[in-house]
A and B are shown apart, each in its own frame.
Chain A
């Protein structure tokens, strides 16, 4: 190596471009700090809240399971809302995902319209959808199911479209050379490649829907939410903690079932 020769010296560690690339990160950090300040969150207010939180936790133990049958019944409704809403939402997400994908959309150039529509569904939170459906259809599980369907559609449709677009193009090209049609390419090459992401998304959608359906009950969309709301409003914190523990158990069960589904469906087969 010839020292001093510019061709053999490594480039400088920091250049004007490096600094320019860091500007967006710095701007983001400043925005986070400013937003925290604007929300009134200070360390002082946090410290002052600790004794109250401790008192609340003390009031919640031991949990009161005296209304266990009613809790289980309401939890059953919540779980059914989550499963029905997720199932229907996922079934609709698959065709929508295909239409929203850049590479597989049957009508070239229209994927942006479907993308926009999915973004609109995602923008409005499920709680707002639940309020809308309760107002339209009256209180009950049907409003909760529809809110979950719409929420799952926006979320899963977006991920399904992404998974379809990210597939390896090689096998698709091979099937095209074999004379395969659009549907055959989708079933023969795209879906098997996108399946792992789709399964992960579906299981996560179910877990998400279960958590959402608890909250939906508070606005009258059926399920355990209303039980939790009443317990908290009547300061029956021990009963509330029993409800929370039951919800936790169901969420854990769903997560375990999800992991099992992932293992079984992603095992090599066919």
Chain B
């Protein structure tokens, strides 16, 4: 796989991009200086096997950050820590200015996690799965099924389904959907929460290239148009370069790259993939 062309494409895109004038109003996708997520010295181990070793990074509001790394690098574990699904052994995490120990319900409401295998409830309808997104909210006790959910939640769910172009499949059971459609439902389930931060754990890994691109396009639109902060884990270097503002590279549980995408070179990616990536940017 050649990355040289990707780098060239990225550079030409940057050249064509107009330079923002100082007095021009910033678009909704502008990255602010406010830190949304600040991770310091995060460590996690399964038994004696250390997965994360003192990971430190921060994500600013409105930023789209991609986590790169090979299998077992610790990307999924890091995202699970950031989503409050697992508690880190060491280190601290600050989300929107609040310490995440413990994770409060209010903090959790502002974060949405998209899984690699979408993890919908296959027996329930598309609409019920989207309504599940409101479970952590005060009205959440009514959100086990769309039939019992408040009307406002049902309407919001329909809007989210329209956003992912699935309003025609509202009452279909989730098990009847294709992989791409299921992942779009998973996105709608996160959207109904109106989150500040979306964490996506290899959202395109189980999809074909076209569906994968479509999912990433949707996530990019959310970031650009609605200013939702993204932290996306992926193996796909080409798309990481195309979609992200910044790339964080993980190797054996440690951060080896944390650079703006525009400044990243093929040689620097060798720090993530080692000998498997040639100096020309080819994966061997």
CB closest residue in chain B, given A192: B123
Q: Which of B121-141 contact A (CB under 8 A)?
A: 121-125, 128, 132-133, 135-137, 140-141
A171 to B119, CA, bound (A): 5
Q: Which of A166-198 contact B (CB under 8 A)?
A: 170-171, 173-181, 184, 187-189, 192-193, 195
Q: Does A20 contact B (CB under 8 A)?
A: no
Q: Which of B44-58 contact A (CB under 8 A)?
A: none
CB closest residue in chain A, given B171: A270
Q: Tell me which of A170, A180, A268 contacts B132 (CB under 8 A).
A: A180
Q: Does B115 contact A (CB under 8 A)?
A: yes
Q: Is the CB of A195 within 8 A of B120?
A: no
Chain B residues with Cβ below 8 Å from A189 are: 121
Q: Tell me which of B108, B115, B176, B189 contacts A170 (CB under 8 A).
A: B115
Q: Is the CB of B123 within 8 A of A175?
A: no
Q: Is the CB of B124 within 8 A of A174?
A: no
Chain A residues with Cβ below 8 Å from B175 are: 268
A174 to B80, CA, bound (A): 11
Q: What is the CB-to-nearest-CB distance from B135 to chain A, in angstroms, rounded to a whole number?
A: 4
Which of B85, B108, B119 counts the most chain A CB atoms within 10 A? B119
Q: Which of A53-95 contact B (CB under 8 A)?
A: none
Chain B residues with Cβ below 8 Å from A176 are: 85
Q: Is the CB of B140 within 8 A of A192?
A: no
Q: What is the CB-to-nearest-CB distance from A265 to chain B, in angstroms, rounded to a whole number?
A: 11
Q: What is the CB-to-nearest-CB distance from B266 to chain A, in angstroms, rounded to a whole number?
A: 35
A140 to B189, CA, bound (A): 55
Q: Is the CB of A179 within 8 A of B83?
A: no
Chain A residues with Cβ below 8 Å from B176 are: 268
Known: A180-B140, A268-B123, A268-B176. A175 touches B132 (CB 8 A): yes
Q: Does B3 contact A (CB under 8 A)?
A: no
Q: What is the CB-to-nearest-CB distance from B158 to chain A, in angstroms, rounded to a whole number?
A: 16
| Number of A positions contacting B (CB below 8 A) | 21
Q: Is the CB of B132 within 8 A of A270?
A: no
Q: What is the CB-to-nearest-CB distance from B284 to chain A, in angstroms, rounded to a whole number?
A: 25
| Number of B positions contacting A (CB below 8 A) | 36
Chain A residues with Cβ below 8 Å from B124 are: 188, 192, 270
Chain B residues with Cβ below 8 Å from A181 are: 135, 140-141
Q: Does B113 contact A (CB under 8 A)?
A: yes
CB closest residue in chain A, given B105: A179
Q: Is the CB of B144 within 8 A of A184?
A: yes
A143 to B151, CA, bound (A): 48
Q: Is the CB of B85 within 8 A of A178?
A: no
Q: Is the CB of A188 within 8 A of B132?
A: yes
Chain B residues with Cβ below 8 Å from A184 are: 135, 140-141, 143-144
Q: Does B145 contact A (CB under 8 A)?
A: yes
Known: A188-B144, A189-B121. A178 touches B115 (CB 8 A): no
CB closest residue in chain A, given B128: A270
Chain A residues with Cβ below 8 Å from B109 are: 179
A189 to B173, CA, bound (A): 14
Q: Does B60 contact A (CB under 8 A)?
A: no
Q: Does B154 contact A (CB under 8 A)?
A: no
Further contacts, 11 of them, CB under 8 A, given A170-B119, A180-B135: A174-B189, A177-B83, A177-B108, A179-B105, A184-B135, A184-B140, A188-B124, A192-B124, A193-B121, A268-B173, A270-B146
The 4 tightest CB contacts between A and B, nearest first, are: A179-B136, A174-B119, A192-B123, A180-B135
The contact sample of 13 A-B pairs, CB cut-off 8 A, is A171-B119, A171-B122, A173-B85, A174-B113, A174-B189, A177-B113, A178-B112, A178-B136, A178-B189, A179-B108, A179-B137, A184-B135, A188-B135
- A interface vs B, CB < 8 Å? 170-171, 173-181, 184, 187-189, 192-193, 195, 268-270
